[in-house]
Structure 1
Amino acid sequence: MPAAASTHIGMFMAWLALHGMAQPDHAPSELHERMITPGEYLRRHCVDQIDPFMLTDTGNAFTSAAYRPYLRRFGDVPVVARYDSTYETPDTWETYDEVAILIEAMYDEWRSAIGG
């Protein structure tokens, strides 16, 4: 299912957008209001990818440092781990809320490492 590939990327990009690290034109109100899911947001507003022009300087720096480790740790999030494959993870706000805990911890680690 092609849309399933948008879930893990969408969770990360939605977190960036919801934390002020995406350019304004990549942080639509429908995302902030949870009217669309993170994966749907990625498909509609980001063409299924994260590109540097979509992010602020901080967003780009954090993404460069944390995205690959995030992909390695994504499957360990309890809501994700219950599935045989990360591609089965539901694209829901409930999933996002659990995944956001991981991203927030990674962001805090990154900020500490850079002295921020």
Structure 2
Amino acid sequence: MRRSPLLLALLCILLCSCLLHAKRPAIITTGTADGNQLWGYVQVREKAHLFWWYYKSPQRVSSPTNPWPTVLCVGPASSGRGNFMEIGPLDMNLEPRESTWLKKADLIFVVRQTVPSN
């Protein structure tokens, strides 16, 4: 599996597009002190956000051929399901997972959150 330059470009275009089309883009970013995890959200329009969570692999080697799995999720708690119940580094009890994709590649989870309007 290789990190696709096209996938990275599409993700960048998506986030930039959200910023350009928002009247007042709200960008909130935070992370761990060591920089191994970053998370935040981008407001795409009123009451609609893209939430993202990035994990840097401890076995990371800078190379354009390294895979970069991107998990795109829609719906409430969908990024949490993928992150904590499937491929993320921690399980639901915040214990290290024996088998995680993070052992092979950086991970980024992206989820669209929309608040329904009346």
* Larger RCO (alpha carbons 8 Å, 6+ apart): 1
TM above 0.5, yes or no, is no
- TM bin (shorter chain): under 0.3
Q: Which has the larger radius of gyration?
A: 2
**TM-score, with structure 1 as normaliser:** 0.28
**TM-score, with structure 2 as normaliser:** 0.28
